[in-house]
Amino acid sequence: MAAEPAGAGGLRAPVPGRCGYFVERKKRFCRMIPAQGRRFCGEHGHQEEENDRKRIPCPLDPKHTVYEDQLQKHLKKCNSREKPKPAYFVKDINAGLKDATEILDEQQLPISSLSKEELEDLIKKLKKASNGINPILKDQMLSHQALQEALNDPKNGESAFKHLKQQASILGNMEKLHLLGPGRCFIEFGAGRGKLSHWVDIALQDAENVHFLLVERATTRFKVDGKHRKRDYIFERLQVDIQHLCLNKVPILEKEKLPVVGIGKHLCGAATDLALRCLVESYSTQYDERNEEPSPKRFKNDKTDIAFNNSADERSGKNVSENWKPVAGIVIALCCHHRCQWKHYVGREFFRTVGLGPVEFNYFQRMTSWATCGMRETITEASTIDAKSKDQSSDTEEHDQVHNRIECSSDSLQGQLTVEERKQIGRLCKFLIDQGRIKYLQQRGYNAALQYYTDSSVSLENVLLTAVPSQSSVPQPTA
C-alpha cells in the first residue's frame, strides 16, 4: 500500500480514495475505503462535516458506532445482541456451590504477602493432607495408528507435532479403555477447533451410530467441522458455557439412547470440574431418574458395554444399548489448575475430610503454577520453555502458558523457597486438587485414575484423567 503523502508542515495526508480520519493511536490515517462522494468511511462517518446524520456508539457494544436514525434496525441484527438461549441452556446447572456464604472474595491477598511462619504453616497443611497418598503416577504414553501418517509427515512443524503426539496418546488411552467403538456419542468439552473429535472420527473409521457434540462457549475460527458435514451422523457444535449445559435436553441425546464419552484436551481449571459435574451429576442422575425400567438380562460373557468385535451387529452398535451406563467413560487432559475455583470444584468434600477448606484451596490453586514456572535451571531450558510458550499461545486449543507465568511471577517468594522447592510444592498442590476429582468420581461409581500421557518436553501439563464405570456399578446378570 502506498504511504500517505506528506502535506504542509510535515503532516501526512490521507491516501487518495481512503478515509480522511487520522487514527491517533496508530499515528496514521484510516485506510478504509469511504463511500463514493464521502470523505470518511462508515466507521468514522460521524466526522463528516457535510453529513447531517449523527453516529452514536452501539449500546450493545461501544466498540463500534451506528447511525442514530438506524439504531432500532441495527439492534435487531447486531452481532453483540443477546441471542435466544437453546433448550439445553439451564443457568448454573453445573455450577456447584450455590451458597454465597462459602464463596470467597476473589480479591485475596497474594501468597507473597504471607509471612514466613504463615507460609510454613500452609505447606505443613499441604503435606499432612497429602500424607498416605502416592503422588507417583504411571506412564501411559501411548499412540494410535490413526495419527501415524500425520506424525510422520515432515510438513508438520514442531508445534503441530507436539499437538499430534498428545492427541495420539489420548486416543491410545481411549482405545486401552475400550471407549472407541460404535453406538456412542463423543462429547468434546472446550473443543476449540475440534481437532480431538476429528481424530476420534478418523480412528473409528466405518463404525456406525456414532455422533459428536463439540462444546465451546466462544466463537472459533478455522474449525475442522466442515470436513465432517457430508457424513451420515451428527457432528454438532454447542456454543454454550459448560456451566449452563444440560445434556439431557440436547436433541440427539433425547432422541437416541446412546452412552456418552466425555473427552477434552487441556481443559483449563474450573472447566474440568464443570465438565465432570455435567456428566456425572446433571446427565447421569437425571437420566437414571428418567429411565427407571429394569435392565435386560445380561449373560456372563456379554462384554458389549466395554469391548467390540468385528461382527456386523456390533459395528452398527445394536448390542451396545442392552447394557450401558449413561456415561461410558471420561478422558480429559488436565491443565491450568491456577484457574480452579472453590465454588465449582468437585472435590470440596475431599478437602474437608483432610482438614482443608476454601482458604487453603485458594492458596493451593495459586501455588500450582510453581510446578511449571520453576523449570528454568539452565539457559537452554529457559529458551525451550519460551519457544514452547510462543507455540502454545498461538494455538487456541492449548492452555494459557503466559497466564501461568503471570500467576507465578505475581506470587513469587524472593529468598523464602528455592526453585526446586517451589516445583515440588506446586506439583503436590496440583496432585491434591486432582485427588479430590478422583475421590469425587470414585464415590459415584467410577474407576478413576491419573497418569502421564505425554513427556514433559512435549507439554508441561502432561497428566490425563480417565474414568470408566466400575464393575459394581454395572448391572449384573440375573439368575
- pLDDT band with cut points at 50, 70 and 90 for residue 24: confident
Query: Would you state the torsion angle of the CA atoms of residues 304, 454, 364, 407, taken in this order, to the nearest 10 degrees?
Result: -130
Given a contact cutoff of 8 angstroms between Cβ atoms, the answer to whether 364 and 427 are in contact is no
With a cut of 90, say whether residue 283 has pLDDT above it.
no
∠ CA 136-137-143, nearest 5°, is 155
Rounded mean pLDDT, 423-445: 95
Q: How far apart are CA 257 and CA 183, in angstroms?
A: 9
CA dist., res. 285 & res. 352, Å (int)? 24
Q: Which three cell numbers stand for residue 132?
A: 498416605
Backbone angles phi, psi at 412, to 5 degrees: -70, 150
- Which of 103-112, 158-167, 244-253, 391-400 is predicted with the least confidence, judged by mean pLDDT? 391-400
Asked which of 35-44, 290-299, 413-422 is least confident by mean pLDDT, the reply is 290-299
Answer yes or no: is pLDDT of 123 > 60.
Answer: yes
Give the chain's mean pLDDT.
Answer: 80
pLDDT of 9 > 50? The answer is no
Over residues 208-219, the mean pLDDT reads 90
Which pLDDT belongs to residue 79? 84
- HSE, CB side, 13 Å, CA atoms: give it for residue 110: 10
97 pLDDT more than 70: yes
CA torsion sign, 297 to 299 to 304 to 310? negative
Higher pLDDT among residues 70 and 282, named by residue: 70
First to last CA, the chain: 82
> What pLDDT is attached to residue 190?
94
* pLDDT higher than threshold 80 for residue 146: yes
Identify the pLDDT of residue 476: 42
Q: pLDDT for 214-228, tens place per residue?
A: 999 887 888 887 777
Angle in degrees, CA 297, 301, 302, rounded to 5: 50
Nearest to 318 by CA among 329, 330, 309, 326: 309
The pLDDT, as a whole number, for residue 49 is 47
pLDDT tier at 147, thresholds 50, 70, 90: very high
User: Averaged over 328-353, what is the pLDDT?
Assistant: 95
Residue 303: pLDDT band (50, 70, 90) is very low
- Which DSSP category does 281 fall into? I
- Are 92 and 100 in contact by the 8 Å Cβ rule? The answer is no
Name the band, by pLDDT with cuts 50, 70 and 90, for residue 64.
confident
Per residue in 391-414, pLDDT (tens digit) is 333 444 445 444 455 455 445 555
Paired residues of 29 in beta bridges: 22
pLDDT value, residue 402: 44
Evaluate if pTM is beyond 0.95. Answer: no
Could you tell me which of 182, 174, 104, 110 has the C-alpha nearest to residue 146?
174
Report domain extents, the chain: 35-82, 111-288+325-376+414-469
* Band of residue 287 on the pLDDT scale cut at 50, 70, 90: low
Beta strands in 208-301 (DSSP E): 210-215, 235-238, 260-268
Provide the pLDDT for residue 86: 92
Band of pLDDT at residue 110, cut at 50, 70 and 90: confident
CA pair distance 441, 435, nearest whole angstrom: 10
Q: Which residue, among 322, 409, 423, has the nearest Cα to 372 in the 3D structure? A: 423
Q: What is the pLDDT of residue 258?
A: 87
pLDDT more than 70, % of the chain: 73
Counting Cα atoms < 13 Å in the Cβ hemisphere of 150 gives 21
Q: Is the pLDDT assigned to residue 240 strictly greater than 50?
A: yes
What would the DSSP string read from start to end of 394-440? Answer: T-TTS--HHHHHHHHHHT--TTTS-HHHHHHHHHHHHHHHHHHHHHH
**Contact in structure between 278 and 94 (CB atoms under 8 Å):** yes
pLDDT at 373 over 80: no
pLDDT score, position 479? 35
Per CATH, the homologous superfamily of domain 111-288+325-376+414-469 is: Vaccinia Virus protein VP39 (3.40.50.150)
Cα diameter, the chain: 99
